[in-house]
Amino acid sequence: MTEDGELPPDARLIGGRYRLAGRLGAGPTGTVWRARDEQGQGRPVAVKEPLLPGDPATDEESRRIAHRLHHEARAATRVRHPSAVTVYDVVTEAGTPWIVMELVAGESLREVLRRGPLPAAEAARIGLAVLGALRAAHAVGIVHRDVHPANVLLESGTGRVVLTDFGIGDGHAEDAPAGFVAPERAAGPGAGPASDLWSLGALLRAAVGDADPGSLGPLGPLLDRLRADEPAARPGPHEVAAVLGDYLGLGTVEDTDPADAAEPKEPEPTERAGARQAGETMGPRRAGETVGPVGAGETVGSGRAGEAVGPAEGSEPAGPAEPAEPSSRPAAAPFPAPGARRRTPLAALGLLLAKKPGTD
């Protein structure tokens, strides 16, 4: 490996398909690699190599964790939303599930916030997009459990907000950055959809910095209520979407029906792309017209217009169907057409690069 993390052209081939090209970064839960899909015209992808506590071939605990990660990664392939990172494939090498994902060109919200807080409107735009991605995950039985600025990416050129790492980290609350873990999750394995909303509130509070709550208008009370100690006291996703949408001048922001997912499409890099995305992440542009979330392949979800797309607030979602054995490989989800690909990505994938508390 060279000093800049690049690998030679004959570097390791994962799953007989994905040729590692360079290391993007490493964190407490694994290493993320840039790779080429040799069965997909050399398209660039990101491949996550989870960090296991031992060898799955000989260690029962490592084998159990590998099985869970495989299960959760397969479930993550069903999340369809413009602001959810696309998981294309899961392949097993030496008992370890490698997770193949969309490679995003941009930087993490954590990097952005190191330069200073955001205007309230930009924080609301990001929050509305993240909320849409969370609801799409909740609709297929996934609780994110790790919403914080390092897992939110802002795509270069388009401003698209991308939430990464859908329940496929190690799941330990102590590894999450301080201040972004809901009380019930910190106290034990009690995470549910409402826990993700608490973390969303913490993320929005971090985004606006120490701004006077009185200067935030309706956002101030919303942030306080999202971070209520009791899950039942937090506003539900419908109310959160309404407040954020109204603040952005989008009017009534309705829910996108995940059952009506459309074919993948690329965001338009125009001056108003950010505001347009904030509206599209949660619902239709015209009455009766459903906006299909970006994603590849099958239609998911069971919600219909006017119905909640996830479990009731504060409850655990129904889990996905029982996975196949870790040794079996699901079919790779199709990639967007070559003409629709974005320009060569930067080494800017926030997935799993969140450091342990106190390491910044």
Given the residues 37, 59, 89, 146, the one annotated as active site: 146
Mean residue pLDDT of the chain comes to 74
pLDDT tens-digit map of 233-257: 999 999 999 999 999 998 766 544 3
**Structural domains for the chain:** 13-102+325-340 (3.30.200.20), 106-280 (1.10.510.10)
CB 319 within 8 A of CB 167: no
DSSP string for 105-159: PEEEHHHHHTT-PPPHHHHHHHHHHHHHHHHHHHHTT------SGGGEEEETTT-
CB 259 within 8 A of CB 300: yes
- Are 195 and 230 in contact by the 8 Å Cβ rule? The answer is no
Residues 142-181 pLDDT 10s: 999 999 999 999 999 999 999 998 866 555 555 567 799 9
**How are strands ordered across the β-sheet holding 106-108?**
106-108, 152-155, 161-163
CB 83 within 8 Å of CB 130: yes
Query: Residue type for 304, please?
Result: R
Q: Which residues pair with 154 in a beta bridge?
A: 107, 161
- Residue 65 belongs to what H/E stretch? helix 60-76
The pLDDT of 88-92, averaged and rounded, is: 95
For 304-329, what is each residue's pLDDT tens digit? Answer: 222 222 333 333 333 333 333 333 33
pTM of the model: 0.69
Has 146 been annotated as catalytic?
Answer: yes
